[in-house]
Amino acid sequence: MRSLGFIFCGFVLLLCTASVTHAQTNRRIIQLSGFVSDSVNVLPGVHVYVPKAGRGTSTSPAGFFSMPVLEGDSIVISSIGFTRQHYIVPKGANDNLTIIVEMVSDITYLREVQIMPFPTEEVFKQAVLALNIPFDNGIDQKNLNAELMALMLKSTPMDGAANYRYYMDQWSTSAADKFQPRTNPFLNPFNWAKFIRDLKQKKK
């Protein structure tokens, strides 16, 4: 008798499962389309899905989506920073159903947090007063005399910026006098006269 009871219960359970499956398969397929936006702009990348069925899609850059659903499906529309929206496909809807979903911003305000390196303001004041700050800048004034600075200026080579500026000056000059005649300084008699005069003065 007990085995017959188990067989009868299993048969009833099988009939119920078959009836539920048949009812689900009899539900019409509807092409659900729509636009998702906030109060101002359309929202791309919003997730539109049916949790129980495991199918869904995302909105395009224009905020549009389109997916097949069944009558009675519960649609979830979610996006980061917005409150989750729900939509149930009504029974008897048209084969092509279009909806417009307006998302609401989900804003969470946190309390203000002040981060300080000291536990209290009084401890901070004591630490500032205890600092031993030198009033000189640590530069020896002997290194700032005019003769040493002039020698450093003359002997210090040019850095990258100075070399680049010199090259650009030469390039602009060559572009400016591209069609001008070139002179040879060795053929200039005034240069030779100046050279001989300087040479005589150095010998004296």
Residue type, 197: R
Residue 46 lies in a domain: yes
Q: Is residue 92 part of a domain?
A: yes
pLDDT one-digit tens code per residue, 71-118: 989 999 999 889 999 999 998 888 899 999 999 998 888 888 777 777
Number of H helices, E strands in the chain: 5, 7
Find residue 29's DSSP bridge partners. Answer: 70
- Mean pLDDT across 10-20: 52
pLDDT in the model for residue 135 = 57
Mean of pLDDT values over 43-53: 91
Question: How far, in Å, CA of 85 to CA of 35, rounded?
Answer: 13
Q: Which residues contact 158 (CB under 8 A, 6 or more apart)?
A: 166
Report yes or no on 143 lying in a domain.
no
Question: How far apart (Å, rounded) are the C-alpha atoms in residues 46 and 168?
Answer: 54
Degrees, nearest 5: CA angle 76-51-55: 95
CA 146/CA 102 separation, integer angstroms? 75
Percentage of residues in the chain having pLDDT higher than 90: 28
Residue at token pair 């397929």: 29
pLDDT at 25: 55
Is 130 a member of any domain? yes
The answer as to whether 70 is a domain residue is yes
**pLDDT value of residue 140:** 67
Q: What is the pLDDT of residues 141-182, one digit of tens each?
A: 677 778 888 888 888 888 888 888 888 888 877 766 766 666
Q: Is residue 87 part of a domain?
A: yes
Its domain, for residue 71, covers 28-135
Domain-embedded: residue 187: no
Residue 141 falls inside a structural domain? no
Handedness of CA 18, 24, 25, 27 (dihedral sign): positive
Domain count, the chain: 1
CATH of the domain at 43: 2.60.40.1120
Q: Which two tokens stand for residue 71?
A: 């009558």
Average pLDDT on 18-25 reads 47
